[in-house]
Each structure stands twice: as C-alpha cells, then as structure tokens.
Structure 1
Amino acid sequence: MINSIAIVGCGWFGLPLAKTLLANGMTVNGSKRSAEQAETLKQQGIKGFVLDLDNPQACDNPQTLDGLKTDAIVINIPPGLRRGEGLYLERLNLLKALISDHHYQKIVFISTTGVYPATGEVMREDDAFGHSPQAAILCQAEAVFAELPNCVIVRFAGLVGPKRHPGRFLAGKTGLSGAELSVNMTHLDDCIGSVSAILAHPKPPSNAYSVCAPQHPSKQTFYQAAASQLGLTLPTFLAPSSDEHDKVVDGSRITRDLDFHYKHPDPLLMLGACE
C-alpha cells in the first residue's frame, strides 16, 4: 500500500498534485531547486527537500536522498528542449542514479503526447517514436525510467488550467496555419486525477497512458473561442492546406483500464475552468 510519495518537480502541476495527495492522507515529499523554495513547501504541509539536478555534487546528500525514499515517486521534470536538449537527459540519468538503490511500489514518469507524429491517424500509446529530433529526446527520456520495475509513463496533451489560459497563447497573431487541425488538450484537474488513479491502482494493466480530452475541436475554433473569452484580439488563420496532417490523441485507454473519467472532456467547455 502506498502511504508516502515523492514528487520531483513541484511546479504548475506538481504542487497541486501534492496538495491533493496530502488532502487524501498521503505523506508527500516535494523537491525544489533551492532551500528557500523547499521551505515554502514545508509551510503547506509538504516535506520539502532540495534537489538541483544541474548540480550533481549537491544531490548526493542525506537530506536529498531521504526525500526520495518513499513508497512511490512522481517524476515531473519539464523537458525545456528549446533551452538545451542534452541537459534534460543528463538530469534524468542523474535522478535515476540517485533512486536506483531504492525499491518503489510505483514510479510515474510524466511525459508528453509530443512523442506521437501527425500522420492524419488517431494516435494511441503504441504509436510513440522519435519522429523528430525533439520527439527522439522525449522517447529517450521515457526509456530512462521505463526499464525500472513498476514504472508507468503518463503522456499529457496540451496543458491548460489556472494560470495557463489558452486564450493568451495565440491572441492577436495572424497568418496562422492549421486552422482545421484538431486540438489535443488536457486540463490540470485531469492531470491530477489521472496520476491519482494510477497511484491508487494496485497494478495498472499498461505501462503507458495518454491523457487527453476525448473531444477535439479545430485549432481555429478553439483558439478563437479562448481569446474571445478573455476579450483579447482573435487570432486569424490561413486557409487549410493539403500538406497539413492532423493528429488526434486517443486518451481512452486509461478510462478503460482504471475507470478514470475526464472531468473536462470538451476543450471548449474547459475554458471556463482556466481562470
């Protein structure tokens, strides 16, 4: 039975996940990159500890190692591929070395649906591959932990929610492509709910799950509605082109395997829960 959880990366997703697990009676350890940030977690009932994966010498200390020794661990390290692709894999391999001597009842690694190509087909969990340089890095990242016992890969689609209103993403932009392409979105509530369901399940049948709202409005419809809701200038799109390939991510496996239900199945309606 899982009673304690370490969350590596207590940011936009990790912190509300920590608060939810804490409210459900779990002991939660949460990592931050500085002592000051870790202290803010302690003030919220989370056992904050310092983990700076860009500073390997500072990671090998009793406080950090104790913070990682829990029944389960959720690894939520943003790829930041635009800032340095190699550093992401270096950070993950260092973390793997730090936890390699500890047995976890469950390891949850947060990934992204960026591992799926746009081919015009519906994308499911087995369709991931390194179809671009960035996707290759993402697949390598998953592989770092996939070989460990009890690991489940969770691939989030586009993230929206509090402080991430999609109306600001494209507002006022012109000449955008992909007007009729489908959007693949996930609300923060469903990120938290899906990971909570995985942690609660004794043994999930699959080692990978996509988390994506089941409805897929067009890019033009979605982003214009999002900008309109905030009273911002609507983005404008070019006419659809024949060389544009759609991508629809199927996030239904987790609903079948774990009896998980999306709280926000329609991206247009989830806009109301993004303020």
Structure 2
Amino acid sequence: MTKTKTKKSISILGCGWLGLPLAEALVNDGFTVKGSTTTTDKCETLLTKNIQPYVLSIDDEIDGNLDHFLQSEILFINVPFRKQKPFLNAYKTLVKVLEKSTIKHVIFISSTSVYSEINGEVTEDMDIPLNPAKKDLIVFENLFKNNPHFNTTIIRFAGLIGGTRNPGNFFKEDKIVQNALTPVNLIHLEDCIGIVKAIIKQQKWNTTYNAAASTHPTKANYYKLATEQMDKKPAKFIEELSSFKIVSNQKLIDELNYQFIYPDLIEGLKAFKN
C-alpha cells in the first residue's frame, strides 16, 4: 500500500502585493496554504484560490484566531512595517504564540533600507553601518532572528516593481527628482516569489539575504525610459550624485544558485509594455 505524502504547510501573514501571488504559487506547488487578510471582503477571493482565509489584524494587539492560523510548518511574514510601539508589542505577542506553535521556520520580509548609504556596495555580512532611521526595523528582524524556538531567514528586498507597480507610474510629469545620478536598487515581483520558493525548497534557514536585481542603472536613465515607454512625459530629473548604496545579491546567487528572471532592470522594462 502506497503511503500518501503529507502536504507541506505554510501560513502567510499578509496576502497583499507579494503575499497573495506567493500563496497562489505555493498552492500550485502542492502546499496547504493559510492566508491572512484584515478584511472579511477578501476571504472569498482567497477561498477561490484554494487559500484558507483568516481575518487577522495587527495593531496594539493581534485580533483573530492566531493559534489556528499558526498550525503550519512555515510562517511567512510580510506586513507593512510601522514604527509605533503598539505595533512592536503586537509582534512580541506573535513571537510568544509562535514559540508554542507547530511553526518550525519563519521567513521575515525586511528591506535593504536598513543599510546606510556608504557610496559603495552593501552586503549582508559586511561590518557596515546600519541606517539609524531604520533601527526599529532591525529590532523587528532580531525579534525573530534571535529566537531559539524556530529558524528564521530574513529577506531584505530592494524597491519592489512588477504586478500593479509599474515604474513608469512612479514619478509624475511635474515631479522634480533630486540626485538622479544615483544607482537604483529594485527587484521584480516574479523574482521575489522565486527567491522565497528557492529558500523553502533548499531549506536555507537562519541566514539573511539581500534581494535585488543584478544591474543598477541611474535613477534618471531608468525612470525616463520607464515613463517614455508608457508614452508619458517624464519627470524633471536633477542629474547630480549624492550619497548612495549598491545592494549586492551575490550571496543569494551563490548559496541558492538562483537565476534571476529579471536580472537586468533596463531589459526588464519590456515586461511592462502594454
């Protein structure tokens, strides 16, 4: 008699721009997926995509059936960051519940904005200054990374494009864009999903990855092309160079053997053509 293979299970906290298409991709890969939303209106959408819906809100506390939501093997956390102390308290509550749950692995979505602009390349393992304006985000990372009850991998995403985020819409015609010779650090939605899937498949836990495309065109060049491709007039770009950083993705490429779908940002603009 052949044994039925147990489905892997994942709970996705935040089914928005990234969380929802990720949930769909994992359902297609045979996962049992639980997805959270802050409104009951979205539950029907999740159900139609074979995602088990949970209404959860994170404010000064967590409202909803958190215990049942966390009956999975993996937790994916992708909730817009807020600095307020009540929000931090809610996350501390989440960690306490996590410690007693069946969750073994956590993927926490962070941002490359945690790095200071050092006028050079930033990597995950360099002894480089972190952005003091983002110290609260580091506190959130460490809540999970330093907890011995589960394994945590941090993904620091660069600026997000793809899906509903067309870079041609980022700057209006009357906008004056300063420091337009600085390099951009961006990543496409499809690569965000691909990287998460690679981490899960290869079980790359207890580490941190920068996630950005391999090329870094100037702000002026990239956004002018993106806007003109939409037959719109570009913003006014002040072509000067101020402080900047270039986010390295080399660790991710080396350890995951990940091949980007959109490694070249200029070439990737073709994906946004109507």
What's the TM-score, normalizing by structure 1?
0.89
Please tell me whether residue 40 in structure 1 is matched to residue 41 in structure 2: no
Match in the other structure for 1:225: 225
Q: 1:73 aligns with which of 66, 70, 75?
A: 75
Aligned residues: 265
How far did residue 43 of structure 1 move? Answer: 2.0
Report how far residue 98 of structure 1 moved: 2.6
Aligned mates of 2:238, 2:263 — CA distance in 1:
28
Query: What is the match of residue 261 of structure 2?
Result: 263
What's the offset of the Cα at 1:88? 3.8
Give the residue type in structure 1 aligned to 2:33: V
Matches within 5 A, 1:1-275: 3-54=8-59, 56=61, 58-59=63-64, 63-79=65-81, 81=82, 85-127=84-126, 130-133=130-133, 135-148=134-147, 149-204=150-205, 207-241=207-241, 244-274=242-272
Q: 1:64 to 1:257 in 2, by over 3 A?
A: same
2:57 partner SS:
coil
- Distance between the aligned counterparts of 2:203 and 2:139, measured in 1? 27
* Structure holding more strand per residue: 2
Q: Distance in 1 between matches of 2:60 and 2:84?
A: 17
Cα distance in 1, alignment partners of residues 124 and 215 from structure 2: 17
Q: 1:78 is aligned with what amino acid? A: P
Q: Which moved more, 1:161-170 or 1:228-237?
A: 228-237
1:234 partner SS: coil
Query: Closer, same or farther in 2 for the Cα pair 1:173/1:210, shift >3 Å?
Result: farther
Displacement, 1:103? Answer: 4.1
Output the CA distance in 2 between the equivalents of 1:229 and 1:13: 25
Give secondary structure in 2 for the equivalent of 1:171: coil
AA in 2 matched with 1:227: T
Task: Give the drift of 1:57.
Answer: 6.6
Measured in 1, the distance between the counterparts of 2:215 and 2:193 equals: 19
Amino acid at match of 1:185: L
Q: What's the offset of the Cα at 1:55? A: 6.3
- Bigger shift: residues 216-225 or 32-41: 32-41
Report the Cα distance in structure 2 between the residues aligned to 1:262 and 1:129, rounded to whole angstroms. Answer: 28
Give the CA deviation at 1:174: 4.2
Helix, strand or coil for the counterpart of 2:221? helix
AA partner of residue 195 (structure 1): V
Structure 1 position 65, deviation (Å): 1.4
Looking at structure 2, the residues matched to 105 and 96 of structure 1 have their Cα atoms a distance apart, in angstroms, of 12
Matches of 2:174 and 2:54, distance apart in 1: 41
Counterparts of 1:235 and 1:35, CA distance in 2: 39
User: In 2, are the aligned partners of 1:129 and 1:136 still within 8 Å (CA)?
Assistant: no
Matches of 1:220 and 1:88, distance apart in 2:
36
Question: How big is the shift at 1:78?
Answer: 1.0
Task: Return the letter of the residue paired with 1:38.
Answer: C
Q: d(CA) in 2 for partners of 1:129 and 1:103?
A: 36
Residues 113, 131 of structure 2: 8 Å contact kept:
no
Cα offset for 1:97?
Answer: 2.5
**Separation in structure 2 between the aligned mates of residue 88 and residue 58 of structure 1, nearest angstrom:** 12
1:171: Cα distance to partner? 2.8
* Offset, 1:143: 0.9
The question of whether the paired residues in 2 share the 8 Å contact of 1:160 and 1:274 is answered with: no
Deviation string for 1:188-245 (max 9, x for gaps)? 00000001111111344x610010001010010001011111112211222415xx11
RMSD after superposition: 2.0
Q: Which moved more, 1:119-128 or 1:160-169?
A: 119-128
AA matched with 1:254: L
Shift of 1:253: 0.8
5+ long unaligned stretches in structure 1: none
In 1, are the aligned partners of 2:40 and 2:55 still within 8 Å (CA)? Answer: yes
